Structure 1
Amino acid sequence: MNIKDLFVKKKRYATIPSERAKQEVPEGLMTKCPSCRTIMYTKELKKNLLVCASCGHHHRMNAYERIASLFDEGSFKEYDQGITSENPLNFPTYEQKLEDIRKKTGLNEGIVTGEGTINEGPAVVAVMDPRFIMGSMGSAIGEKITRAVEEAVKKKYPFILFSASGGARMQEGVLSLMQMAKTSAALEKLSREGLLFISIMTHPTTGGVSASFASLGDYNFAEPKALIGFAGRRIIEQTIRQELPENFQTAEFLLEHGQLDRVIHRSELKETLANIIDMHQV
């Protein structure tokens, strides 16, 4: 053997997985945490309420996943499934966008409302779903929230709302903005009846939603590191000509400055809600 062969390493070439090899891994089997980059089995992540076991990052929950995680099995009854958005301003491509997102998500609108029991305590709930045009608030969402609040008043049940929204829906213009007043007026009626309203802000809760019903709870809670605010960081910095803190508009920042009552880990949420409902039973 030539002595040079002892010092020359053979080149190693990276192997490119074949299309067949790629197809053998089922889509959705694994999930990568966007925070710590840990790769985990999706099934295990769901068992852990979509919270990363490595860093505690709260992945987004859709409306039905959240309802299933909180309400007693078989107790939930949905309201107003037939209420859907239309196109009152004849906004271009809006109707097609709605049709496409309904097929993709299986939802008629960006919120699910209904009633059920949490550890046998009855409650009316509204859960926004960020998959539906980023949970943006249109006329149908305002109507469904208002009807759910009215049902809570009628039955003397507490009302729980999970917000997850980019704000008002631009395709409905001023009609979308009117939902801020409409829902707030319904919640004022709930308050006058001496009934409980619990608001839980999830990632993200912004714009007209954060400036109206999401901030009107008797208890205002949030999930860890949820983005909560009205205008975006860049707009605020340009307006006030100051650099904002790194954690600005996070749930923890708002808690520190008195705008939230508590930041609650998802694993503790059901027990917390059940205790509050029990404490306020009329």
Structure 2
Amino acid sequence: MTALHEAPPAVKRGQAPAGPPEQGRRLVRMVLAYAALVAAAVVVLLPFAWMVSSSLKRNNQVFSIPIQWIPEEFRWTNFVDIWTQIPLATYLGNSVYLSVVITFLQLLTGSFAAYGFSKVRFPGRDLLFLLYIATIAVPWQAYMVPQYIIMHQAGLTNTHLSIILLQAFSAFGVFLMRQYYMSIPDELCEAARIDGLSEYGIWWRIMLPLSKPALASLALLTFVNTWNDYMGPFIYLTSNELWTIQLGLRSFVGQYSADYAMIMTGAVLSVLPILVIFLFGQRYFIQGIATSGLKG
């Protein structure tokens, strides 16, 4: 009987119940918001859809007017022929190698440096961190030439090692991991120190397991940036067998500028690994950006 005489939650809180006009406005706002999101998604996905469609056409059908989104004849042979026209397997293998190695090194160096800047107390820690993060504001063009001179004098030009050494450390990665580590209670580290665990053990056994979302976010961002990097390999790699997929596709476009369908096929193949990785890792990426620290 008591439940029957209870007022609705909105009335109990001293709020007037939402009437039909208010509910109608909310519905309109929701519909407009979803319509805007759908429109934005269409604008973003439209070029990709055109690229995939063009990769399955003949050359004379790529720029047909009006645009034929669904080809009359699906030329799946384009995805076979391109492997014989350029050493695509070599380019993809080099890109995978560089992306995996650089991503691993940035996770290692970034997480370890972030632990020192967030959980280890030493004189000048905050000032050193600010100076290190300030390097993000320096454009790459400002130190591009000195870097090349150093690598040339060290005899590392035209090697993958030059790209790896230059990109193995990331100020942004340190910043991202430190912000995540700062949300983890210091009491965990203090308790581990009392139990006799070293700083390396605390980083390995406590901090890393608690920061999987942040590590996933950093890994995804680093892998995508390394995969799409063009200027770095263009400057340091001159041998064709060392080229990445971005250099290989640019060379292919220069040699076969009229083979539009094959160019689109190569572009699709270069995007597929990134698309697959993002689809499988987007949950961890969103979690790492939206959350921090321990969950209650």
TM score, norm. by length of structure 2: 0.23
Q: Highest relative contact order (Cα 8 Å, sep 6+), 1 or 2?
A: 2
More helix by share: 2
TM score, norm. by length of structure 1: 0.24
More strand by share: 1
**Which has more radius of gyration?**
2
